[in-house]
Amino acid sequence: MPNRSRNGAALTGSVIVLGLLLGCSNSAESKEEGREISATAAPINKTNESKSDANTVNQAKETRPNFTAKANATFAEPWAMTALPKAAEGSIKLLVTQKTGELFIVDAITGKKTPITGVPEVAYGGQGGLGDIILAPDFAMSQAVYLSYVEAGTNTNASQDKGKFGAKVVKATLKGLDTESPSLQGITPIWQQFPKMSGQGHFSHRLLFSPDGRYLYISSGERQEKDPAQDMAMNLGKIVRLNTDGSIPKDNPFAQSDSNPVTQQIWSLGHRNVLGMRFDDNGNLWAHEMGPRGGDELNLIVKGQNYGWPEVSNGRNYSGIPIPDHDTGPEFAPPKISWSPVISPSALSIYQAGEHADFPAWQGKALISGLSSKALVIADLDTANKGQTAQELYRYEMGERIRSVLTIDGQVFLLEDGPNARLLQLLPTT
């Protein structure tokens, strides 16, 4: 499919690459010696399996901005990043977690890292360890943060869970933010996965507050066990919704009809491994999840709906055994985008131009980081149509597995995956 520039001239993928390289001041050398890489443009790959081609014309007219990626810091197995409130002009500070259990305050431009002490002990291994971190809605007053991580069972409670694992969410106060020795204090339990399971995969444990700050959403993976996603006595394979103190909102879809507090937490079900959740401008909640062999999904999350896993999926089992497609099960909410081959979506950000408008073409669009795809995927959310459709517009091949993407005040940062992962700032080129 041809890409088109603003004046309608057809461009091939190779011309775009050339344009990118010319836009990068010292592309070839900096790739080897410096900490700067240029994004190579891949041909538009329309992997949305939507039956309709009605949007094809609009898609072809979309302007695709070019950028270079500047590395500002390096981390060992980072998992999540979130922005701190702006303190000084030109300064951007992040909180960054590493799976192995470290938490840093990071100057996103200079790369200066300050470790934060007091992080709870995490069960590192497999896909587990320290997970997400977000600021409380009243952070400016309270300095409170919410943190997710994996906890090992200890057999000290009623259940015999030694050797098993589960995600946990706590609230803590971040003291000494502007000092050289910041710390987490007053750690308070908010939520945990039930039950703990053996194995160390599919924890999900992504955290998000509603736009009004009243509700905490937590994605809870199915722990690679499939069936828990449809089991209402477990909070695995679900997106749960809580009040900020961990209590259950009365208007949750199963809060009145079921007496089990685990069931009452559930907002939506039938999920596999949700690593990205965001609200768009119109208040729609979007979440992407990893499918098995094929069938990664972007879903519009609606209260009480069942998203089908493992009953239906547009992918196949790793064994090769087919799974009925989404369109065979009308009781299950189908994905707005389905990816086969997979992109392995790791994080979701919705672009908003702020003080900086580095990428005006991405206004309101979903930025999705990919692990196996090593890509930044840009998707259109049809917010004018109340979020009834979505489609991938194009993607950028980044050359490395990308663990996270974050829009801050109109600027875009990526976090690579793995032991020598760079924090990249995307700098627009013309």
Strands, E, within 88-129: which ranges? 93-98, 103-107, 113-115
Please state the closest distance from residue 32 (CB atom) to Ca ion, in A.
Answer: 42
CA distance 262 to 139: 28
Select 197 or 287, whichever has its Cβ closest to Ca ion: 287
CA distance 264 to 138: 26
Select 40 or 317, whichever has its Cβ closest to Ca ion: 317
Ranges within 270-299 binding Ca ion (CB under 5 A): none
Residues 202, 205, 288, 326: which is the catalytic one?
202
Select 138 or 227, whichever has its Cβ closest to Ca ion: 227
- One of 308, 310, 370, 387 touching Ca ion (CB under 5 A): 308
Select 165 or 307, whichever has its Cβ closest to Ca ion: 307
Select 307 or 394, whichever has its Cβ closest to Ca ion: 307
Respond yes or no: is residue 271 known to be catalytic: no
Please state the closest distance from residue 291 (CB atom) to Ca ion, in A.
Answer: 8
Please state the closest distance from residue 47 (CB atom) to Ca ion, in A.
Answer: 16
Please state the closest distance from residue 165 (CB atom) to Ca ion, in A.
Answer: 24
Closest alpha carbon to 280 in 384, 357, 378, 195 = 384
Angle ∠(139,268,122) on CA atoms, nearest 5: 50
Kindly state whether residue 307 participates in binding Ca ion, applying the rule CB under 5 A.
Answer: yes
Task: For the chain, report the end-to-end CA distance as a whole number of angstroms.
Answer: 23
**Rg of the chain (C-alpha set):** 21
Closest alpha carbon to 218 in 230, 206, 226 = 206
**Residue 247 φ/ψ region, left for φ over 0, alpha for ψ in the -120 to 50 degree band, beta for the rest:** beta
Return the range that interacts with Ca ion (CB under 5 A); candidates 20-28, 190-198, 302-310, 355-363: 302-310
What's the longest Cα–Cα distance across the chain?
68
Residue number with the smallest Cβ distance to Ca ion:
308
Please state the closest distance from residue 317 (CB atom) to Ca ion, in A.
Answer: 14
Ranges within 172-231 binding Ca ion (CB under 5 A): none
Task: Return residues touching Ca ion (CB under 5 A).
Answer: 307-308
Which residues are identified as catalytic? Answer: 202
